[in-house]
A and B are shown apart, each in its own frame.
Chain A
């Protein structure tokens, strides 16, 4: 087979998408360059920073450590897919209210990783949140405001 395999079909944020990426193209670059979903950020490009985290089949993965061709037939959710009506979801609103972020580069990765956590554990505690987010790097905040945002979202989930 060649460097450009046959085209792929996948689900992205609930819609069927197609493309013909080169084998070497990561899912992160495919989302950004081919599908114009630039909300997924690319930081280190070797799996260390977590900025490119997306959800594949319900689990958080680093889209720089997965080839686009490997996403064929799978269900991908990116930051653009979290609040389709243009508003903010519970987690996003809680992070907004907690002033969780500053420059915004790491934001999509943290939000996707926290979304995966809260989907499985809607009322996650601080220790669980810290563990889940331990693979994401933020250079602005010192992390406390991010933890506070996820804790607030978990609290609001409990009040529902």
Chain B
């Protein structure tokens, strides 16, 4: 369908964007890459009175590394992140997840901040942010707040960003030595919405798992950390039996939504499978890195 009539603002600074957000609050939608918002408009699932287009705000785009963190401007397009050597080197889990997002033409417009602010629980970047404990920097009329990923995702397509705040930057911790990562996804067709996705990062020290981070996509209204599986894994030597048990614990407490792509039980079974696959792949990845 054609988009409904809507007012349009195109600020060129963050300060102007915040002024506009403060003026229009819930009546406004922030337009970044538009790869989720424009379909929502076309399908009448979103009906903002005003679009605040932030594509003209140059300061929101870019990738930089400092003090063990990689900061990504909210308007950084997904293809730019895919091509970033800083991200490939320091945030390998993000680099592994990016090619799973939609298709090339989508990643040419879609942005890191847009996907994370849209907060689709089946999407790739929310799972990565949750697994790595990314930090969300939002700016509003009263200044800046830094929100940890655990508090960012509040519900289906809902974040803790206030209506007068703009997501300006997302920070990911740089991976330490001995880290192995994997992004796994089961979808009807590569590039389609995931039935279940998994972001996993393991750190190995002296043959023992010293850090384990797993976040599942598509199994709830928010991306879900598999804390029980992480607790099991840390301090253990990797083995097939251990990974089987981790898959069981990761999926014990989840109650995935059912839709035409899969029942709740099917998603649960697939989730256990991707956890096993992901742990094996992350181990292999860590082994390659240490050679």
Contacts and interface: CB of A to CB of B under 8 A. Distances in A.
Given A26-B38, A134-B103, A5 B10 contact: yes
B188 interface: no
Contacts of A61: 105, 108-109
B2 A60 contact: no
B211 interface: no
B108 A60 contact: yes
Nearest to A57: B108
A1 B109 contact: no
How many residues of A sit at the interface, in one of the four size bands?
20 to 34
A1 B7 contact: yes
Given A24-B2, A65-B34, A66-B34, A1 B8 contact: yes
B158 interface: no
Contact of B190 (A5, A45, A134): A134
A26 B191 contact: no
Determine which residue in B2, B6, B105 has the highest number of CB atoms from chain A within 10 A of its CB, and name it. B105
Given A26-B3, A46-B43, A132-B104, A65 B109 contact: yes
Interface residues of B, number: 32
Given A60-B105, A134-B103, A65 B2 contact: no
B55 interface: yes
B4 A24 contact: yes
A69 B106 contact: no
A31 to B, nearest CB: 14
A110 to B, nearest CB: 12
Contacts of B105: 50, 53, 59-62, 113, 135
Given A47-B39, A62-B105, A113-B105, A1 B79 contact: no
Given A3-B5, A26-B38, A46-B39, A134 B55 contact: no
Interface string A13-43: 0000000001111100100000000000000
Nearest to A29: B2
A67 interface: yes
Interface of B: 1-10, 31, 34-35, 38-39, 41-43, 51, 53, 55, 79, 102-106, 108-109, 189-191
Interface of A: 1-3, 5, 22-26, 29, 45-47, 50, 53, 56, 59-62, 64-67, 69-70, 113, 116, 131-132, 134-135
Given A56-B108, A64-B38, A134-B103, 8 more contacts: A1-B7, A5-B8, A23-B51, A46-B39, A46-B42, A47-B106, A67-B53, A134-B190
